[in-house]
Amino acid sequence: MALLPEDIIDRLIQMERRIQALSTAVNTRPPINEIRPLPPSSGRPVLRVFDGYNHEIFADDIATGGLARPWLQLMPPVDHLKEAKWPSTTSTAFTPIAQSFNPVWQPKMRLAMYTKASSGATGQVKVMVDGQQFGPTVAAGQTFDHTGLLPVDLATKFGKVMTVEIHAVVTSASGTVYAQPVSMYGTQT
């Protein structure tokens, strides 16, 4: 028997079935909550994430597990109870009293530190990042606790080392100004 031409209703019913089948297939896909290697014989999966500038911003450690990049710097323990051991100055001009070198991974940084002046003295403390001030200048005796954008171009400085310095000055006739960092880390915008 010869095939008869289908009418428009039959064609619409077929298209509706196909669309429903496609919709079901898309919505029943398993969730992507684990990463597996494409060739089964390749061993452990490797996870690498890059930003828009092709910087590797995240990577896992396939040898032992955990995080490979970015590696996160940790603050060394300090004696925050004995100011005599803190970085200090007796200078009446802003002077660097502490310095560290840190890679730039995030666009912002949080830095918290205790400051103090010797008995009868007054002074100020500020933070410089690559020669530019980061956060406010505080009076000695106040806690410096600032979170803000780094004064560097993240696109060109990413993964490279920035210099963080603590500067202090004695504003009275004499005395000593102290500063002790207690927390410092990068953060997102």
Q: Mean of the pLDDT values across residues 170-182?
A: 96
pLDDT band at 8 (very low <50, low <70, confident <90, very high): confident
Alpha carbon of residue 42 to chain centroid: 32
Per-residue pLDDT reduced to its tens digit, 75-126 = 777 887 888 899 999 999 999 999 999 999 889 999 999 999 999 999 999 9
pLDDT beyond 80 at 186: yes
Mean pLDDT for the chain overall: 86
pLDDT at 36: 60
Percent of the chain with pLDDT over 90: 48
Q: Mean of the pLDDT values across residues 127-146?
A: 97
pLDDT at 61: 77
**3-state DSSP of 153-181:** CHHHHCCCEEEEEEEEEECCCCCCEEEEE
Rounded-to-integer distance, Cα 128 and Cα 96, Å? 9
pLDDT band at 3 (very low <50, low <70, confident <90, very high): low
- 113 class by beta-carbon count within 10 Å (0-12 exposed, 13-18 middle, 19+ buried): buried
pLDDT at 41: 55
Q: Mean of the pLDDT values across residues 159-175?
A: 95
pLDDT beyond 80 at 32: no
pLDDT at 130: 96
pLDDT at 171: 98
